[in-house]
Chain A
Amino acid sequence: MTQLSLKERFQLSRFFKGEKAINEPVTLNHRRIFILPTYRGLNFALLIALLLLIAFVYNNNLIYLLAFLLASLFFISILHSYKTLAGLILNVGHNNAVFAGEAAGFTVHINNPLDIERYNLQIKLEQTQSLTLKPYSKTSIILYSFTTKRGWHKAGTVTISSTYPLGLFRAWSPVQFKLKTLVYPKPANHELPFPQTPNAFVQQGFNQKGADDFSGLTEYHAGDPIKHIHWKAFARGQGLYSKNYGGNHSTEIWLDYASTPGHDTEQRLSQLCRWVIDAEQADIPFGFSIPGLKRLPAQGLNHTQKCLEALALF
């Protein structure tokens, strides 16, 4: 483990945000674990004070003894709190790209290399999850973080905490990983027909007429491909509709930033994203062009992904 500089040691953010983000497994030790009494713990201290008062007024030695026992318990539970987290090894796994507005999932591996059972671990990124960990075992959980904007999304601090055993103290350890995931633009909500392929993109051998574009909705008939069902309308309770595409499947389209409708960049990107998904779903080969990147018409997950990445990082 790297040494901390004096300045870093006294940074308050260490208590809440954790140390500098790193990308290797983190072992929780005294430098990363913090312990403070909870409200319940403070009330417990009040209880001890009350018992001491009773013992004092009545000059009762056994109540003194009970109060002292509870005070020692209070004190010793600090050590036990530390023990609930000490030695755990945290590491991050892979994660998948998401569309803006969705929750990004980050996989975190927790390894318990010691002979201590962890009865209650709370792991929090944006929401809290609880789990137990047997001695010498490991587990993985997925933590979700909500995304709003396209581009790289960085996960905040992963905080692992525990109030075991008595709930009087909370031990916590904030850990920052270099956790980031790609967020694609949010697909546009409204359906627009695929753009007509402008002449500039028509190359030899391409079917000029064959605009493989979305041309409207018709009522669903048995036998229509499932991919063409307009699920959004169905979800809105408007009945089953099939999307009709002009031309046949062998035709191809060009998705061009310049000719995409929209008030601003984000709207255009959002619309492009919609089209990319729709085209992928409809099995239509598409070409893709935004300033700085141009991809020849193609099909397949890899192609789609590359296009979406380009949109995300535009």
Chain B
Amino acid sequence: MLARSKAAEIGASGIGKDFGDFTALDDVSLTIGRGEFLTLLGPSGSGKTTFLMLLSGFLAPTRGQLTLDGQDMTRTPAEERAFGMVFQGYALFPHMTVEQNIAFPLTVQKRPAAEVKRRVADAIELMGLGGHGQKRPAGLSGGQQQRVALARALVYEPPVLLLDEPFSALDKNLRGQMQDEVRRLHRETGTTFVFVTHDQSEALALSTRIAIFEHGRLQQLAPPREVYDRPANRFVAEFLGEINVLPLTDLSTGPGGATGRFEGQRLGAPAPGQAGATTLAVRPEHMRLHMTAPASGNKVAARLDHLVYLGAETRLALRSPGGTDLTMTLPTAELPAALEPGATVWAAWPEDRGFLL
């Protein structure tokens, strides 16, 4: 299973899916590149899982077209697409041993017995399941079951691997290990991975690109850094992590960027990506703490409301004179010694760290 499989390219154009009167997906168009690791990210009910089911062929779209390497596959049923799939809850065959589970897709494809045996043995070895081959899924831990599910989905070198929230049942440490495992499998197999999650940090850590869904629409499709640093809209900005939102007045856009006023203070930012932007957004970790007004850059005076100690980081909750709540995260090591709630401080950040939404 280490052989690099013939990874496929998937295209979706104008995809829509209705369930009765409810539109679960609307007008989704994107291309998933060969060997890409694409994450479908969104809150529950956003349409990300519906989109995965359309890719797998278990659901048929109401509108639009799906292609596999340029060939239409809109109406191809799941059993003919035969993409690898890892389900939430693993969906292992409970009456079969680990070996039989992993061998199943190979037997279905009528591969020679010797090849089945060799591939199953390789997969067991590769996934660190040695000594568990004769056990049934009920006798394995959650992490081991997850490995069996991955081995079973990859053992026949499918052109695409679909993963539906595979780690949602695992505890935090195991989750981290399995993320490393999936990253390694993606690198070693070179297969196209499509991964569904509602966990933004998981999406940022694993993906080559992230597709963010809300209300059945694709909100943004971009590499992790871009969706985090240059979110297309406020939903994306807030979904990917905490963000400070400062309403601006007197906004004017020039060649070098935009400026506006927040509670009388002039603030600058790069020119907005979309028209009608009225707020300035800044991530908490991009703000710096100053005890006196800094000479340059954007700065806002605020009163320190309280501190939340988080170990390596400390979060500062601030309130501006106008009543806007601001959050700033600092490495705990950089925290000034005599910082008490009630103190007046300055939050400052370089103009190019903020963005207009």
Do they bind each other? no
